[in-house]
C-alpha cells in the first residue's frame, strides 16, 4: 500500500521524511548565512527539480520558495521543471563539477526538461559563500566574534586557493608529465565518439530487428 505517484516507492516514509527535513534544515541554515545565494535561489522560485537516484533508489524534489528557502520533498505529483536520473556517483560528480553543463553532456546523468534550472541550482550551492561573522558576533560579542570570523575567512580562503592550486598541479602532472590521463579536449572528443558509436549501434540493432521481422513475415507467406 505504499505506491506513490511518479513511480517512486517509499518503504519507510517517516524515516525518509525525517532525513529530508534534516537535510532541508541544514541547507537553509547554510543559505541564511550566504545572502548572495538566497537572492540567486529566490530567482528560481516555482521551478521544481526531480532528482531520481537509481543506486541507492531515492527520489527527491527540490523547490525554491519566494523567501529564498529550499524545500525538499520525497513526494510531489505536480509538474516538474527538470528531471535528472542517475546513480549517486553521477550526482556527486555533478555537485563537484566546475562546469556542470559539460558534466551533464558527458556524464552518466539522464536529463528531461530544462537544464537551466539544474545548472542554476548547482551554481547556487557551489558558490555558497558563508558569512560566519554574524553568528559568531551574536555568540561571542563584537571583538572576539570579528577576530575569529576574520581568521576563519582567511583559513577558508587559503584552503580554497591551496586546494585549487594542488588540483591544477596534479592535473598538469597527470596529463602533461606522467601522461596518466588524457587532456579534457581529447576526453570530450572521445566521449563524443563513444556517443556516436552508441547511436550507430542502436540504429544497427534496430535495422537487424526490422530485417528479422521481414524475414519472418516472408517465411510465413
Q: How far apart are CA 156 and CA 169, in angstroms?
A: 20
Nearer residue to another protein within complex by CB, 4 or 140 = 4
Q: 22, exposed or middle or buried, with CB in 10 Å at 0-12, 13-18, 19+?
A: exposed
Residue span binding another protein (CB under 8 A) among the ranges 9-17, 85-93, 129-137, 201-209: 9-17
103: CB partners within 8 A, 6+ apart: 93, 94, 97, 109
List the grid coordinates of 3: 505506491
Binding mask 38-77 for another protein (x = CB under 8 A): ---------------------------x-------xxxxx
Q: Tell me how far, at minimum, the Cβ of 32 lies from another protein, in Å.
A: 17
129-148 residues near another protein, rule: CB under 8 A = none
Under rule CB under 8 A, residue 7 binds another protein: no
Measured in whole angstroms, how far is the alpha carbon of residue 68 from the centre of its chain?
A: 19
Q: How many CB atoms lie within 10 A of CB 179?
A: 9
In whole angstroms, the minimum distance from the beta carbon of 3 to another protein comes to 7
- Reduced DSSP (H G I as helix, E B as strand, rest coil) percent helix, strand, coil of the chain, to 5: 65, 15, 25
Among 10, 128, 152, 174, binds another protein (CB under 8 A): 10
Count H helices and E strands in the chain, helices first: 8, 5
Q: Which of 18, 43, 57, 156 binds another protein (CB under 8 A)?
A: 18
Which of 13-21, 91-99, 125-133, 168-176 is the region at the interface with another protein (rule: CB under 8 A)? 13-21
d(CA 83, CA 117): 10
What is the binding site for another protein (CB under 8 A)?
1-4, 10, 13-14, 17-18, 21, 65, 73-78
Amino acid at each position: 500500500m505504499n505506491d506513490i505517484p511518479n513511480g517512486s516507492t517509499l518503504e519507510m516514509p517517516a524515516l525518509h521524511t525525517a532525513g529530508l527535513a534534516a537535510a532541508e534544515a541544514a541547507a537553509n541554515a547554510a543559505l541564511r548565512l550566504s545572502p548572495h545565494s538566497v537572492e540567486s535561489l529566490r530567482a528560481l522560485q516555482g521551478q521544481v527539480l526531480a532528482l531520481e537516484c537509481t543506486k541507492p533508489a531515492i527520489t527527491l524534489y527540490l523547490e525554491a520558495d519566494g523567501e529564498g528557502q529550499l524545500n525538499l520533498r520525497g513526494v510531489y505529483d505536480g509538474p516538474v521543471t527538470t528531471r535528472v536520473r542517475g546513480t549517486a556517483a553521477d550526482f556527486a560528480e555533478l555537485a563537484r563539477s566546475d562546469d556542470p553543463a559539460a558534466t551533464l553532456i558527458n556524464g552518466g546523468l539522464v536529463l528531461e526538461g530544462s537544464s537551466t534550472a539544474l545548472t542554476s541550482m548547482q551554481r547556487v550551492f557551489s558558490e555558497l559563500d558563508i558569512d560566519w561573522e554574524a553568528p559568531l558576533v551574536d555568540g561571542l560579542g563584537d571583538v572576539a566574534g570579528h577576530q575569529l570570523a576574520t581568521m576563519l575567512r582567511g583559513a577558508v580562503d587559503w584552503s580554497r586557493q591551496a586546494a585549487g592550486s594542488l588540483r591544477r598541479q596534479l592535473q598538469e602532472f597527470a596529463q602533461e608529465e606522467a601522461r596518466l590521463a588524457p587532456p579534457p579536449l581529447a576526453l570530450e572528443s572521445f566521449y563524443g565518439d563513444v556517443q556516436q558509436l552508441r547511436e550507430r549501434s542502436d540504429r544497427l540493432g534496430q535495422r537487424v530487428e526490422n530485417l528479422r521481422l521481414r524475414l519472418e513475415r516472408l517465411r510465413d507467406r
